[in-house]
Chain A
Amino acid sequence: MSKSIADKKLWLISQTELETWLDGIANARTLIAPRLVSGIILYRQVAKSKEIAWHGKTSGLALVGRPLLSVKEIFFPPTERMFTIQKTGQEIYLEEKFPDWETVVFGVRPCDARGVKLLDALFLDTNPVDTFYSRRRENTTLIGLACKELGPTCFCTSVGGTPDDAHDMDIMLYEVEGGYLVEAVTEKGRFLIPGGEWNETTASTKQLTFSGQFPVPEKGKWPDHFNDDYWMKISERCLSCRACAYVCPTCRCFAVRDEMLAAGEFERIRCWDSCAGENYRRVAGGHKPRAEKGERLRNRFFCKFYYYPEQYGLGAASACTGCGRCIEVCPVGVDITEVLIGLEKSA
């Protein structure tokens, strides 16, 4: 992705300056930001900065809670048309259309940005490169906003993140007294900043220090737990819905199918899929290698902490960013942090 800048520059801007800047961006490009939609916050396109879900009614500072769906849906949408197929007589035409519009995402939380970085490992850094994902990634600028505190379900500090981690952003904003500190992290981000108009500053962006709360078993220890009865026990309450996977910033499984649009016209689509679904691993002949929901739930945790890091060379990092969304949406209270504690105890 875009090269990061060696000499970091910082600006201090007011809320009004920020809004003017965002309005300008929204005019020239597609601006996506947290927006309140029927009682929940989602990353959605906004026409002007007033539509963003700010704290308080009168353009108060900072954003209200993090969006319910992660920023993943912008790069890897729930359903994507890969190409259309037209059949006339004996001839078949394929037509591909790639996403090529410039997008700016504002209000990205560090856990979400890290999620995107983790998706890169599969979609960008592994051959073959996923064209749809990479086009979107190239055309998208991430403007982050540091969290001032950990939310009730957040645990990013336990999995190697921090609430003010600027690494995977293009531009990072820090809320401070009197406005925001703006940091250009990459060249791509620097391009969006109207340098001359803003006041430069040398203030420090480090405001708080956080420490991890939950133990994460080392990667090497996970295989020992594969046959634990523990998985069947904790999965008893699991309903096998896919809410956890679909809100997760790093769950990236998809299914591909050709569907008919009209006579002689078809499309190939890919859409989100999840290992929690019973049919996910079904093979020809009807056999389901993960028939029990305990096996499916186990797979979810192994995928986050063992399979994915192992397969895509993440080193000691896990594929969980600690955003806590799965804890929040689970209808029956399955809790990933509790699983981690449980595993650590049984070791």
Chain B
Amino acid sequence: MYEPRIIAFLCSWCSYTGADTAGIARMKSPANIRAVRVPCSGRVSPELVMRAFDQGADGVLVLGCHIGECHYDSGNHRAAKRLPILHSLMTFVGLEPERLRLDWVSASEGERFSRIAEEFTGAVRALGPIHWRVSPDERQPASPELVTAHEAIPFPEADCAAKTDAIRRKARELLASNQVSCVIGYEVSRRGRTRPVFIYTPEEADCLVWNPDCTNNLTSYLPARLRPIKGKEPPKPIAVVVKPCDSKAINVMVAENQYRRDQVYALGVACEGIRDPGGNMQTRCVTCQEAVPIVCDTLIGGTTSSFIPRLSSYAREEIDELQNATPNERLEFWLGQFDRCIRCYACRQACPLCNCPECLYERDDSTFIGLGIGLNEKRTFHLGRAYHLAGRCVGCNECERACPMNIPIGLLNQKLTEEIEAAFDFRAGLTITTSPIVTVLSGEYKEG
């Protein structure tokens, strides 16, 4: 008979002792469970859970102290926030929901431990062996595609000369008055491609442009340029041209202390949408209602309004389509997508919020991911990255745009954005606030 292998992360103070209590009372617990003793359920990072599945676990059980009883006050608050998000992410890419469970067991609740362990093992056993880990030698990947197809909306004619003029004028003024050391904007290359440009003198301002191809999120250059360097003068403020979606990244970065708000001069441009290379409206722009940047020191080409736009998901139909599929179909879909990944990290590098000095998934000594460009590693990287952006992603979708291999990475971010919004009523970047999943629980928490 098939017996599942289950990894249980048990909090040393409550659940591990609870398991002990069950043993002392001679209660029966399934032998499938391999216990990993951790100092706190808050110590169980998503990487550990993903690693367990990557290494062939059939189920992962995370047990901590009841809320309010944490030995470290709020460690289990983090588990209570993180695990559900991870759960929805992993089920979204094809893990059966029953295979990952978070629950609470105190030191005296031997009976409860025994019951949960029994229940969980039974549920996982009923599912049969897991198909999560892929052996690259055996797999000939199919590439199932989504049925949902967005209607191509031809890009409307736009008059950008006035905005271009206004950007140049303001840039000249800021540089001449020495308010900023550099202006990051857009220029058109010799080949006719719109791309980022960095200007340092008022004379250079004439190369700045605004047009419907200004797709890059220029705030991704800010953290590295504004980081103070020991023994050197603190970096001078930088002006940056931002679209409404881009501007929200500034709020997130300021909330995370990557730079101060006064170090950035935001040249906000009222945006009517951005074009894709085919001349149509980019998908992210179709449903976007934000015409005016939220973070803005000078507004170009629009009127400031107190209207807080309805935030909408540009991937609603795709997410629904995947949600309605079976876990196995979802798994196949995503493996087919990740299969194309070449680990070039363009998504991460283009992201305004991926700002770790050294990526967890690129460290030579990373125990969470291998060096190979194989399916397991690629999936771990993308899921890990999506998780790290939960509650932080502002939806500029530059990751997906930068991807040379056409992988719909944005779907993962959108899915988590929706989850976060449903759970915490929070959207990243609207105010200077950190992600709700890195803070403690507020208000009353209901178990289960």
Q: Check B337 against A38 for contact (C-beta < 8 Å).
A: yes
**Chain B contacts for A79, CB-based, 8 A:** 136, 372-374
Binds B, one of A107-115, A163-171, A198-206, A232-240: A232-240
Question: How far, in angstroms, from A241 to B371 measured CA to CA in the complex?
Answer: 16
> How many angstroms between the C-alpha atoms of A229 and B196 in the bound complex?
19
The proximity string for B residues 319-337 relative to A, scoring 1 for CB distances below 8 Å and 0 otherwise, is: 0000000000000000011
Residues in B with CB closer than 8 Å to A239 are 220, 346, 349-350, 402
Neighbouring B residues of A274 by C-beta, 8 Å: 344
Q: With A79-B374, A241-B345, A269-B372 as given contacts, are A332 and B405 in contact (CB-CB < 8 Å)?
A: no
Chain A residues, Cβ within 8 Å of B440: none
Residues A78 and B405 in contact in the complex (CB < 8 Å), given A38-B143, A69-B342: no
Q: Are B191 and A338 in contact (CB under 8 A)?
A: yes
Which of A38, A45, A274 has the most B CB atoms < 10 Å from its CB? A38
B372 partner, pick from A237, A271, A329, beta carbons under 8 A: A271
**Does A68 reach chain B (CB closer than 8 Å)?**
yes
Q: Nearest A residue to B197 by beta-carbon distance?
A: A237
A230 at the interface (CB under 8 A from B): no
B 189-200 to A, binary, CB cutoff 8 A, 1 in contact else 0: 111011111100
Q: Given the known A-B contacts A42-B340, A279-B362, are A37 and B143 also in contact in the complex, defined by CB atoms under 8 Å?
A: yes
Interfacial residues of chain B within 111-144, with CB under 8 A of chain A in the complex = 136, 140, 143
Q: Does A277 contact B (CB under 8 A)?
A: yes
State the Cβ distance, A64 to closest chain B Cβ, in Å: 15
Shortest beta-carbon contacts, A-B, top 7: A333-B195, A331-B402, A239-B349, A78-B373, A329-B404, A241-B349, A241-B346
The reply to whether A237 and B190 form a contact with Cβ atoms under 8 Å apart is no
- The answer to whether B344 and A237 have CB atoms under 8 Å apart is no
Provide 30 A-B residue pairs closer than 8 Å at the C-beta atoms, listed in order of the A residue: A37-B143, A39-B406, A40-B340, A40-B406, A237-B195, A237-B196, A239-B350, A241-B346, A241-B348, A242-B346, A243-B342, A243-B346, A243-B402, A243-B404, A245-B344, A247-B404, A257-B371, A259-B372, A271-B372, A271-B373, A277-B345, A278-B358, A279-B362, A331-B350, A332-B195, A332-B350, A333-B194, A333-B195, A335-B193, A338-B191
Q: Shortest beta-carbon distance, A114 to chain B, in Å?
A: 21
Residues of chain B from 167 to 220 with CB closer than 8 A to chain A in the complex: 189-191, 193-198, 216, 220
Residue B401 interfacial (CB < 8 Å): yes
The yes or no answer to B39 lying at the interface (CB within 8 A) is: no
B371 x A271 contact (CB < 8 A): yes
Number of A-B contacts (CB under 8 A): 113
Contact present for A259 and B342 (CB under 8 Å): no
User: Beyond A272-B342, A332-B196, is A240–B349 a contact (Cβ under 8 Å)?
Assistant: yes
**A255 beta carbon closer than 8 Å to chain B:** yes
- Give the residue of A42, A246, A269, A332 whose beta carbon is less than 8 angstroms from that of B344: A246
The secondary-structure label for the interface of chain A is mixed
User: B369-402 interface mask toward A, CB cutoff 8 Å, 1 = contact, 0 = none?
Assistant: 0111110000000000000000000000010011
Q: Say yes or no: is A327 at the interface (Cβ < 8 Å to chain B).
A: yes
Interchain nearest-CB distance for B83 vs A (Å) = 27
CB–CB A269/B371 < 8 A: yes
| Chain B residues within an 8 Å CB radius of A37 | 143, 340
Q: Pick the contact of B216 from A271, A332, A341 — CB < 8 Å?
A: A332
* Contact assessment for A243 and B344 in the assembled complex, using a CB-CB cutoff below 8 Å: yes
User: Which of chain B's residues have a CB closer than 8 A to the CB of A243?
Assistant: 342, 344, 346, 402, 404
Within 8 A of B (CB), among A321-341: 327-329, 331-333, 335, 337-338, 341
- Whole-angstrom distance from the CB of A295 to the nearest CB of chain B? 15
Chain B residues with Cβ below 8 Å from A332 are: 195-196, 216, 350
Contact A237–B346 (Cβ < 8 Å):
no
Q: Is B145 an interface residue (CB 8 A)?
A: yes
Is B364 among interface residues, defined by CB-CB distance under 8 A?
yes
Q: Which residues of A contact B350 (CB under 8 A)?
A: 239, 241, 331-332
Q: How many Å lie between the Cα of A341 and that of B189 in the bound state?
A: 13
Smallest beta-carbon distance A289→chain B, Å? 16
In the complex, what distance in Å separates the CA atom of A219 from the CA atom of B38? Answer: 59
**Using Cβ atoms and an 8 Å threshold, which residues of chain A touch B372?**
79, 259, 269, 271
Q: Which of B189, B198, B370, B401 contacts A236 (CB 8 A)?
A: B198
- Cα distance A153–B404 when bound, in Å? 15
